[in-house]
Amino acid sequence: ADGRDGPALAAAPGRAQVFSTVVDTFLEKLVAAGSYQRFVSCYRCFYKLQPQLTRSIYDQFVSQLQASIKEEIQEVKNEGNLEGLFSLLDKIVEEAKDREEPAWRPSGVPARDVRSALVPFLLRHRAHLRRALQERQERSSSLAEAVLAGRDSIAELQQLIQARQQAWQ
Amino acid sequence: MSVNPMTYEAQFFGFTPQTCMLRVYIAFQDYLFEMMLVVEGVMLKKLDAIPGCKISPSKIRKCTEKFLLFMKEHFDKLFSKMEEVLLQLVLNIPKNVLLPEDKVQEQYPYSEEEFQALQDELQQLQQQCRAEAVLEQELRAELEEQKAVKAELEKILQCFDGLENICREHGAGNFKESFAFLTQSSKKLQDVLKDVEEKSKKMNQHDQLM
């Protein structure tokens, strides 16, 4: 994929681009080191016998080596979904660019690190409990009112009955 | 010099960058050796086909070893440079970067005490809810009782009202008064009876004393 953006964005190359470039550079320099001259100087006896074959053997060696290496890199990229991860990481890094302080890192003690992950759940639970408690308290309070009213009306009835009793004395 | 375990990178990539580099190094190296063997093989085959050839396989092997040694040296140097760049620029997470999955760590940096306090608060709220539930039950129970009691009282009241209705129907509004008069009179009689009893008792006592 072409990692170059339009002229408006003079962005630093993304990780994927750097990765490709670095691998290509490695190959280039390796092949440069293992030059034909070097090859010939090691296989001088064979070269004297078969100069043209030596050339073609060398060419095949180089192209095969490059192909294998590139294939391996591609496999690693595919297996690990590196292209996707690289662009995601680029984005994450870009979003954090204005931030200077070092970010949180795992402490190595899972019990400690899991605390903050649990907090949002606990807070939600707390809000739920507070709501539930309030509802229950409102219910109890209206029930209590009804109970008191009931006691009053029972007392009233008792008084009426007493009055009747008196009247019949 | 401490080795950076790159665990945060491993969390993101799913593999440790150094492990990845090692895998790649071994693979590349294998290819290099493989290619050299192929080269050697081709040459040996060719030499086989030439009659009276003065070049022995062991000589070819020496050539291969020479070339390979040279290649390996450069290979190692170049690879280690590549590895350095990749570990620093590509397979790394800068110190100021927090992965999105860890956002909560900076949103809710709760200390152990704060966390414990939150848990304690939750426990307390749960207890309060349970207490309210118990209270609610008790209140409902009393309401049920009150219903029953009220029903009984109202029945009694109805009885009284019934009596009054009977009185009214039979045009004896005075029935109540006469009934009340009757109850009073019987009470007075009872009082008089009591008086008489007492007096006779006294007289008997007096007689006995005489």
Residue ranges of domains in chain A: 15-96, 118-168
Cα gap B121→A126, rounded to integer Å: 8
**Distances A30 to A62, A83, B57, B63 between C-alpha atoms, Å:** 10, 25, 27, 19
Asked if residues B78 and B61 have their Cβ atoms less than 8 Å apart, the reply is no
The token duo for A111 is: 């019990």
Our CA angle for B108, B110, B116, nearest 5°, is: 135
Domain of B20 in residue numbering reads as 7-101
For residue A4, the model assigns a pLDDT of 52
Residue B138 lies in a domain: no
pLDDT value, residue A1: 47
Q: Cα(A58)–Cα(A39) distance, rounded to whole angstroms?
A: 7
Mind listing the pLDDT tens digit for each residue in A25-79? 999 999 999 999 999 999 999 999 999 999 999 999 999 999 999 999 999 999 9
Q: Is residue B111 part of a domain?
A: no
CB atoms A104 and B128 under 8 Å: no
What single DSSP character describes residue B91?
S
How many A-B residue pairs are in contact by the CB < 8 A criterion? 221
Give the Cα separation of B36 and B45 in Å (integer). 14
Distance from CA of A76 to the nearest CA of B (A): 8
In a domain, B112, yes or no: no
- The per-residue pLDDT string of chain B (210 residues; one tens digit each, 9 = 90 and over) reads 468 889 999 999 999 999 999 999 999 999 999 999 999 999 999 998 888 888 899 999 999 999 999 999 999 999 999 999 999 999 999 999 999 999 999 999 999 999 999 999 999 999 999 999 999 999 999 999 999 999 999 998 888 888 878 777 776 556 667 777 778 888 888 888 888 888 888 888 877 776
Out of B55, B104, B129, name the one closest to residue A45 (CB): B55
3-class DSSP string for A72-127: HHHHHHHHCCHHHHHHHHHHHHHHCCCCCCCCCCCCCCHHHHHHHHHHHHHHHHHH
What are the pLDDT digits (tens) for A66-84? 999 999 999 999 999 999 9
Give the model's pLDDT for residue B205.
Answer: 81
Choice between A102 and A166, residue whose per-residue pLDDT is larger: A102
Q: Do A154 and B15 touch (CB under 8 A)?
A: no
Domain assignment present for B207: no
Nearest to B90 among A19, A38, A64 (CB): A19
Cα distance between residue B191 and residue B166, in whole Å: 31
Q: Which of B92, B86, B116 is nearest to A115 (CA)?
A: B116
Asked, for residue B48, whether it belongs to a domain, the answer is yes
How far apart are alpha carbons B12 and B97 in whole angstroms? 12
At A144, the pLDDT band (50, 70, 90 cuts) reads: very high
A68 Cβ contact partners less than 8 Å away, ≥ 6 residues apart:
B31, B34, B35
Chain A residues touching B128 at Cβ < 8 A:
133
Residue among B90, B96, B168, B28 nearest A71 (CA) = B28
Q: How many domains does chain B have?
A: 1
Q: Does residue A168 carry a pLDDT above 90? A: no
Q: How many CB atoms lie within 10 A of CB B9?
A: 21
Minimum distance, in Å, between the CA of residue A79 and any CA atom of chain B: 11
Q: Is residue B158 part of a domain?
A: no
Q: And the tokens for A25?
A: 């550079």
pLDDT in tens, A101-133: 999 999 888 888 999 999 999 999 999 999 999
Radius of gyration (C-alpha) of chain B in whole angstroms: 57
Would you state the pLDDT for residue B174?
A: 65
CB of B181 within 8 Å of any CB in chain A? no
A133 burial class (0-12, 13-18, 19+ CB within 10 angstroms)?
middle
Q: Residues A75-104: what's their mean pLDDT?
A: 94
